[in-house]
Structure 1
């Protein structure tokens, strides 16, 4: 049923559907379900310790022999700036007081681990069929050793220049991440988000610019989006927000409720939770101090000062101070188990393609 079989053959999968790796939102259970259904399940490791990542990979390998993707961030860890952190906490002072917290309390810096020798060791140990990166690629020596395991390498491009750079560096396929996508932008050649492009405009331009297969991501949540992306030249699609509605998603009840609520269609790019632009449902802290704040510490440190506010308010049912990551197509999503969702999306897309 799939005219362009390059991704299917490259990864050894049956369906051109990739479950987006969503740090903090999915673990092995979702990966297993999607891969067993014929798609490509993805394990995000940016928020996992090496020990936790090993535990999750071991679970996956015990329960499925199907291809999987393991995802890493490859940002540069920033130097902690005491003055900037103090200014950020001062900016949040009134919220601390409102919640009965001491504005001068010590807060642990927020952390997301970049790809390094330790994570490389896990790739060499478990040999996932696909390894994907966000924010560019690791340096060439690490990348070479990843490819030496036999893994196919992916990374996200938000511009044509980024796509060409990724191809030149040896990516086997490129994820064209449109402006509609939830979570962190994969932008890495510039800090300017004002000229970021939507999925339906970005995909055909990236397809024309590179020779490797292209995966469309951003604003795709149903068969109509899949068929449209394939028509524009994508070899496969990557869906994230659609999988947040599955029981396998590890998001909080507050996040689930926000995704299903009346405000789910209102998303914006914000840097207040981590220090890098990411798309989420607009909440109180985004409205009042953001969504983009020049005071937010460098990625990923901004979240440290917000953590006590979330810890105090979330148990009360409030999403005022937490990241509610979501793409722009949340209202097109359905509540189904991850495996069933994968198969149903493929079946519905196939039916639409047959009837064209």
Structure 2
């Protein structure tokens, strides 16, 4: 049983991954109410939307939950020629695929992290988790002084150690199998594709803070295996994507069940940042232009209207279908039921459910 989560009043050693753009307040609340730690991925949310969604969670459950943010600079440097070139590529692709939507210039490329962090402090969730970089020591202390536990994301022992040195209460280690965006910040993404079941014991041996395992865990047996390797708890994301409370598009949910493991890989062409998901029609079509892609969050903002149009049209093959390596093991069921099944499997694998 997770001592870290138990100290928060969470009954199960289970964290629902903060999947920005595909989870909902309903999913977070359902997981927390069922005894896990629900997590709201707020990386794409403007401050008021973050406040509103946190209020929805609190209206649905009185149990602890987490908020997750992407640590990014407040201002983004733009290569205008690169932006215009990729816009032409994207518009041509959408035209050839029969979608009328075209790219545009957003008012902002991403929400200001400093404003998001201020909103998070106002919400005061039980846990604040972060990816893409580390906070400063003063920022960590300020959150902790407000009664918020801080969890960092690392894809290597060095990144996990960086969070520990900043005073984080725990670190979530993201194995190469994990779906969605990589949290890498000290290395090139391709240099930090470490398998979870090597990364967990290496990190546990190096640190004195709790380690949460993330990446490819789809059932209670996987949770038990991570625990045997020293993890304090397991974080599952893809496992919850097929739940009715998930905001994943219907085509995305359908494609997960049919996913072939050799067609799941690291993708840059939707967002400009390494992320694991299904290599579909969009990914294949953009591959010849890999050297032309602007970085995150610029490309992510440019493809956003295209992804929305693809979802509306039922075109999963043009969506960013993020998923972990075990995607085809998803089980479409309500989130609370999935938590119950996971914990039954966990118990059957030799652990006592508190």
Which residue among 113, 123, 130 is the counterpart of 1:115? 113
Question: Which range is displaced more, 76-85 or 224-233?
Answer: 76-85
Deviation string, structure 1 residues 217-241 (Cα, Å, up to 9, x no partner): 0000012211110110001000000
Between the two proteins, the alignment pairs up a number of residues equal to 351
Aligned ranges 1:75-86 → 2 under 5 Å? 75-76=72-73, 77-86=75-84
1:60-113 C-alpha deviation (Å, 9 max, x unpaired): 222222111111110224212201112222443541442467999644378443
Bigger mean CA deviation after superposition, 338-347 or 132-141: 132-141
1:224–1:102 CA distance, 2 compared to 1 (3 A): closer
Question: In the alignment, is the contact (CA less than 8 A) between 2:5 and 2:11 conserved in 1?
Answer: yes
1:264 shift after superposition:
6.6
Moved more, 122-131 or 28-37: 122-131
Structure 1 residue 58 and structure 2 residue 55: aligned?
yes
Q: Is the 8 A contact 1:258 1:264 kept in 2?
A: no
Q: CA deviation at 1:277?
A: 0.2
CA RMSD between the two structures: 2.4
Paired with 2:331 and 2:98, the residues of 1 have a C-alpha distance of 39
* TM-aligned CA distance change 1:104 to 1:56, over 3 Å: closer
Deviates more, 1:169-178 or 1:61-70: 61-70
Summarize deviations over 1:232-263 as a string: whole Å, max 9, x none.
Answer: 00010000000001111011112112112254
Gaps of 5+ in 1: none
CA offset digits 1:270-304 (Å, max 9, x no partner) = 11111110011111121232399221111111134
Bigger shift: residues 283-292 or 221-230: 283-292
Query: 2:144 — aligned with what?
Result: 147
TM alignment of 1:256-335, pairs within 5 A = 256-263=253-260, 266-290=263-287, 293-335=290-332
Judge conservation of contact 2:103–2:302 (CA < 8 Å) in 1. no
Q: Which moved more, 1:228-237 or 1:60-69?
A: 60-69
- Sort the Cα spacing of 1:20 and 1:65 in 2 relative to 1 into closer, same or farther, 3 A: same
The answer (yes or no) to whether the contact 1:241–1:326 under 8 Å persists in 2 is: yes
Q: What is the alpha-carbon distance in structure 1 between the residues aligned to residue 39 and residue 156 of structure 2?
A: 23
Change (3 A) 1:38 1:297: same
Cα drift, residue 16 of structure 1:
0.2
User: Aligned with 2:266: secondary structure?
Assistant: strand
Q: Does 1:245 align with 2:242?
A: yes
Which structure dedicates a bigger proportion of its chain to helix? 2
TM-score, structure 2 as length reference: 0.91
Q: Give the distance between the partners of 1:270 and 1:301, measured in 2 at CA.
A: 15
Structural mapping, 1:87-126, within 5 Å? 87-92=85-90, 94-99=92-97, 106-108=104-106, 111-113=109-111, 115-116=113-114, 118-126=115-123
- Contact 1:18 1:238 (8 Å CA) reproduced: yes
Other-structure match for 2:132: 135
8 Å contact 1:156–1:175 — kept in the other structure? yes
Query: In the superposition, relative to structure 1, how do residues 263 and 13 fare at CA in structure 2: closer, same or farther (>3 Å)?
Result: same
CA distance in 2, matches of 1:351, 1:312: 44
Match of 1:13 in 2: 10
How far apart, CA to CA, are the structure 2 residues paired with 1:39 and 1:346?
A: 10
More off after superposition, 66-75 vs 318-327: 318-327
SS of alignment partner, residue 349 of structure 1: helix
